[in-house]
Amino acid sequence: MNNKTFPKFFLALAVSLIIFLPTISRAQTSFFQNAFKNIQESLEEFIGLKTENSQDFHSRVVAFEKILDLTLSEAEDLRLRLLSLENLTKKEKEIRDEMVSYFDEVLAFYRSQKQDLKKLANNENVSLDDLKNLALKFKQWREKNYLPQINRIYNFLLINLEKEAISMAFNRFNKINQNLSQLKEKGVKNLKPAFELLNQADKLIQEGKKLNQESENLFWLSLTPFLESNSSTTEITSSMSEIASSTTSTTSSLNSFEESSSSTLSIKDLTKASLSKIKDAYQIFIEISNLVRKLLS
């Protein structure tokens, strides 16, 4: 047989895998942690700066406006990630909708801060200290009201993005199995190694699904008390403030962030391990594609 008889599916598979593997890897990056730390560092640096003349005041206004824009982008990105999730259960949709509503409130607050900054910038009687105080209050608000919720949202996103990756892997498996079976019916010989590889991929996908299910079980277990005590978005926001009410300084807020990250590390580890299984399955798909190509050459 020549290459013309090589199924178009296997050609498309080879191309799609090159694109897909880096994509699912990026889905596992700690995007919210990096964004939070970048904003946190920018705010701390901004608050610690000293000024010598009036020109510095204008530059500080511009700098703080950029920080606010960054926080807006961060929240908008997470909100869109939540809205992009597909095939959610009724329970998951309810949680997703509450999280989206929460981000609506966050975005409204961020925009109000931009308005406050604009008013401050246009007031000739304000000083750099007034600007720093606005930035400090904004930073404290994030630490008390944003941080307690964002780690939970990140885990929810991580688990569901991995679900999508697993679903895609199962679809790939079924299509490859169908195409191999068709080749076998057409009399193509020596397909046994390809089927054996496919069985290995199936096992890896099943293992990945199990690992992600374990991470999801942990997520719902940790969320149960939260759900029982909150029935509306307003109550959720209020609860977040109460959770963080013991945070009385920048240092304690950052410690709270690290403790929150550590307490959910097992969820991240499980989803990471699940992703590794899926990536290995896709590598096997590539091996199958190369094997079939050789058989038909």
Instruction: Note the pLDDT of residue 54.
Output: 53
Spell out the domain ranges in the chain.
3-295
Q: What is the pLDDT of residue 266?
A: 80
Helices 90-121, 54-83: axis angle to 10 degrees equals 170
User: How far, in Å, CA of 64 to CA of 54, rounded?
Assistant: 16
Alpha helices in the chain (DSSP H): 8-26, 31-48, 54-83, 90-121, 128-141, 147-185, 192-229, 233-243, 250-263, 265-295
What was the pLDDT predicted at 235?
Answer: 45
User: Which pair of structure tokens corresponds to residue 136?
Assistant: 């400090």
Residue with tokens 């880096």: 22
Question: Cα 185 to chain center, whole Å?
Answer: 43
Q: What is the DSSP string of 46-112?
A: HHH---SSHHHHHHHHHHHHHHHHHHHHHHHHHHHHHHT--S--HHHHHHHHHHHHHHHHHHHHHHH
For the chain, which ranges sit under pLDDT 70? Answer: 1-55, 224-265
Which pLDDT score, from 0 to 100, does residue 259 have?
41
pLDDT of residue 238: 47
Which residues, 6+ apart, have CB-to-CB distance to 198 below 8 Å?
173, 176, 177, 180, 284, 288
**How far does Cα 63 stand from its chain's mean position?**
27
Q: Which residue has the tokens 């069985």?
A: 199
Please state, in angstroms and rounded to a whole number, the distance separating the CA atoms of residues 51 and 44.
Answer: 15
**Residue 207, class by beta-carbon neighbours within 10 Å (0-12 exposed, 13-18 middle, 19+ buried)?**
middle
Residue 211: per-residue pLDDT? 95
Which amino acid belongs to residue 14? A
Phi, psi for residue 123 in degrees, rounded to 5: -95, 120
What contacts 24+ positions apart, CB below 8 Å, involve 46-51?
A: 46/132, 46/135, 47/132, 47/135, 47/136, 47/139, 51/128
